[in-house]
Homo-oligomer: A and B are copies of this chain.
């Protein structure tokens, strides 16, 4: 355990993941569409020795969408651009397996991987049945039971295509005129339930062999999918106990799929608010939370209540009567159910839904203590850092990361040039290689 270090990823989200961060006086209100700012952030995260720069995504918007979702860069293009202005940090982006083509996605991630010198990663998401994305893709719907079956076939194809060329396939012998060895070019010839893809891919493997696979599903089929394919999992746990249980479960599942428990890294989501004192941290949270009007907050929150007009309900009394309006029991719906059961008012619920309160609030030492506790208890192998407010990035990089380094919990130099090696993962051998 002594050599085990915390892995750090940063989720870059422009104007932020809440409704109101863009209104802060120090915020760039067009941050989601400002490439120079993304470049600055990426270079800061790399200077702080982060493992990963992560770009999330979504495939549809409505008038009710959060500001960042309305107007932002597409992940493949953004990561490719950031590849040229960084040298060591991993470049991981979200793409849906339901709404894309495996041949194209295999190519785009292989291309990013090759041009970045082996730093690419793909966060595989399976878009849900209720997801408005279908409206932008010919109404294509994949039933819940089938979406991971489809994703499994999709991953088998992309991983197969990424092995189209053995590492020494390109001979390029000017003397003999032999450009490549045909025996080291492999045609996939995949014929499955959802896809037929012949191959080979028209690009060679990168120094890390294949792009890193990220995944974020929590359902039973989602966990098995991750256990089979993922090198890293993005989790959003509410408590340390929940996160320990989740990580243990994933490590066991990895073994049942013939992998090592250490082949799969859990990145717990954190959005810390750092102050010189606890009071200052609380004040920084309030600075952001108070930028939301109650009208905006109710409007935003209505999406979790079948888009009902919530302004018809009383704001300042326990809102337990709203329980029956919650249309589901998973994920965010579970959160709202528990909040209402605990006696929250509609005003509290709406404001906290709009500006979620991080469990990682306090001084830099307090936050470092908590990260250390989570890491050492086996609740996480690393953390997915989501900056909160325009001060969030500098606060965490300048105040918290150095403490983790002083404690020997985080690197003081990149170990390698590729993402897999920095994550401590092995570089997969080409399946066709003879030796």
Contact = CB atoms under 8 A, between A and B. Distances in A.
27 contacts: A22-B179, A25-B174, A29-B172, A29-B174, A33-B204, A35-B114, A61-B200, A69-B202, A72-B202, A73-B203, A74-B107, A76-B76, A76-B80, A77-B77, A77-B108, A77-B111, A78-B111, A80-B81, A81-B81, A82-B84, A101-B101, A103-B137, A135-B197, A135-B198, A136-B198, A138-B197, A177-B296
Of the candidates A77, A78, A204, the one having the most CB atoms from chain B within 10 angstroms of its own CB is A77
A198 B33 CA distance: 22
Nearest to A24: B174
Interface string A1-42: 000000000000000000010111101011001010001000
Contact of A172 (B22, B292, B293): B22
B73 A139 contact: no
A325 interface: no
A27 B173 CA distance: 12
A112 interface: yes
Nearest to A169: B71
Contact of A22 (B24, B63, B174): B174
B100 A104 contact: yes
A203 B61 CA distance: 10
A67 interface: yes
Nearest to A95: B104
Interface string A91-116: 00000000111011001101110110
A398 interface: no
Nearest to A172: B29
Contacts of A313: none
A185 interface: yes
Contacts of A77: 76-77, 80, 108, 111-112, 115
A177 B293 contact: yes
A349 to B, nearest CB: 20
A23 to B, nearest CB: 5
Contacts of A202: 58, 60-61, 65, 69-72
Contacts of A132: 198
Given A81-B80, A81-B84, A170-B30, A70 B108 contact: no
